[in-house]
Amino acid sequence: MPNDVFTLTRDDYLSDEVWAAERARIFHRGWMLAGAGQRLQRGNRTVVELAGESVLLTRDLEGRLHAFANVCRHRGARLCEAHDTSSQGSLMCPYHAWTYALDGRLIATPHLDETEVDKSTLPLWQYHLREWQGLVFVSLHPEPPEFDQWLRDHAPEMLKFERFGLDQLQVVASTRCDIAANWKIVIENYQECLHCTRVHPELVDITPIYRTGWVTDHEREDGGVTVDRAKAGSPYRNPLPSLPGVSGADHTSYFGATVFANGFVDITDPSVVISTLYPDGPHRTVMTMDFLFHPDAINTPGFDPQPIIDFNVLVGNQDNAVCESVHRGVSSKAFEHGVLTPKDEYVIWFTQHYRNVMA
């Protein structure tokens, strides 16, 4: 068989021009995943970096989510720093103390009365936001693509997850890591399991098909792969109330989906992990993981999510190390492109999809 199906090129991974084009054609044109909505309680705010744009997410006192440019309408100061997740019910600019409600209205301008400032004309600049199955999506484009069609085009596998009732789950923990690798390398790595035997001994121990190099089970139509939950060393051994919609083989299965271009959703009953990538230039990707369970599981006496969190962080760190190695490798002058094999079928899909969107 000729190896004539190629990966992306060194320039695709490393060049500043390609990164600028990705921002314009992918990240700032369509919708970006911004994490699990349940991370944000009423009255809270958080800051996310969406491909070079600082975006303020708030949940107002009525429970509605909003996305704003993280910039003051007065003279442009940054409103909130990344570590500021306080819940004060309003947002005060650190420069001259102009204050905004969590729905973006400008409500106070110290030393300036209504003859000097018309507050009603100066709300925060708002972005489009959509909450779908507990996942928050933001579009920075003034006229974003229609969301449902966009989801069908860019995350078709996600549609199968509606049956798991993700919007009924609660976030019990969130982690964050910094990966010295291009965002596309992180996604490509997620799309194949030729590396699993070598890189993830603990994972292949409970997911037998991964020993073969296949990332999905072609004998199954539901997209799942079998997990040996009872095996010694499995973090899924302790029985807990299941996710909604789980039945039959779902109890001992793993399901995964990619949200193009910046997220993964992993489901292994009784938990869901939402991984969100925040690309920061060609050479760095920040990733957060939100861990979700059903309230019935959380309320079970002795509920302990830590083994599942630790296991997923372990596998994630194993992946991050090889992604950083690839990033260093493709920086070689010798690297023009790599080759893709039949077992890289989802990497091939990703590469073609990326080329289409960038064209």
- Which residues of the shown chain bind Fe ion in the complex (CB under 5 A)? 319
C-beta closer to ligand FES: residue 125 or 349: 125
In the range 282-341, which residues lie near ligand FES by CB under 6 A?
none
Q: Is residue 32 near ligand FES by the rule CB under 6 A?
A: no
Q: Is residue 77 near ligand FES by the rule CB under 6 A?
A: yes
In the range 53-72, which residues lie near ligand FES by CB under 6 A?
72
Nearest-5° angle of CA 289, CA 225, CA 215? 75
The sign one gets for the Cα dihedral 325, 328, 333, 338 is positive
In the range 89-108, which residues lie near ligand FES by CB under 6 A?
93, 95-96, 98
Q: Is residue 28 near ligand FES by the rule CB under 6 A?
A: no
Distances (CA, A) of 16 to 20, 21, 115, 281, 282: 6, 9, 47, 8, 7
Residue of this chain nearest to Fe ion (CB atom): 319
C-beta closer to ligand FES: residue 72 or 265: 72
Closest CA to 28 of 134, 152, 127: 127
Which entry of Fe ion, ligand FES, none binds 231, CB below 5 to 8 A by partner kind? Answer: none
How big is the chain, counted in residues?
Answer: 359
- For ligand FES (CB under 6 A), the number of binding residues is 8
Which entry of Fe ion, ligand FES, none binds 74, CB below 5 to 8 A by partner kind? Answer: ligand FES
Place of tokens 């372990």: 314
For the chain, the straight-line distance linking the first and the last C-alpha, in angstroms and rounded, comes to 29
| Omega before residue 82 within 30° of 0, cis | no
Which entry of Fe ion, ligand FES, none binds 353, CB below 5 to 8 A by partner kind? Answer: none
Closest CA to 36 of 334, 276, 333: 276
Each residue 183-202 as x (binds ligand FES by CB under 6 A) or -, in order, gives --------------------
Distances (CA, A) of 274 to 35, 56, 67, 170, 222: 7, 20, 19, 12, 20
Which entry of Fe ion, ligand FES, none binds 95, CB below 5 to 8 A by partner kind? Answer: ligand FES
C-beta closer to ligand FES: residue 95 or 349: 95
Q: How many CA atoms lie within 13 A of 258 on its CB side?
A: 21
Binding site for ligand FES (CB under 6 A): 72, 74-75, 77, 93, 95-96, 98
